[in-house]
Amino acid sequence: MLQNIRVVLVGTTHPGNIGGAARAMKNMGLSRLVLVDPRIFPSPDADARASGATDILEGAQVVATLENALVGCRLVLGTSARDRSLPWPLLDPRASGEKVIEQAGEGAEVALVFGREHAGLTNEELQRCHFHVHIPSDPGFSSLNLAA
Which CATH number do you get for residue 98? 3.40.1280.10
Provide mean pLDDT across the span 49-77: 98
Closest CA to 100 of 124, 75, 80, 122: 75
Q: How far apart are CA 114 and CA 142, in angstroms?
A: 15
Phi and psi at 21, nearest 5°, equal -65, -40
- pLDDT above 60 for 148: no
The answer as to whether 147 is a domain residue is: no
**Count of structural domains, the chain:** 1
Range of the domain at 64: 2-138
Secondary structure element (H or E) that encloses residue 18, with its range: helix 15-27
Dihedral, CA atoms, 2, 70, 8, 88, nearest 10 degrees? -100
The answer as to whether 143 is a domain residue is: no
Residue 136's pLDDT band (boundaries 50, 70, 90)? confident
Would you state the pLDDT for residue 28? 97
Please tell me the pTM assigned to this model.
0.94
The answer as to whether 146 is a domain residue is: no
Higher pLDDT, 82 or 78: 78
Residue 41's pLDDT band (boundaries 50, 70, 90)? very high
The answer as to whether 18 is a domain residue is: yes
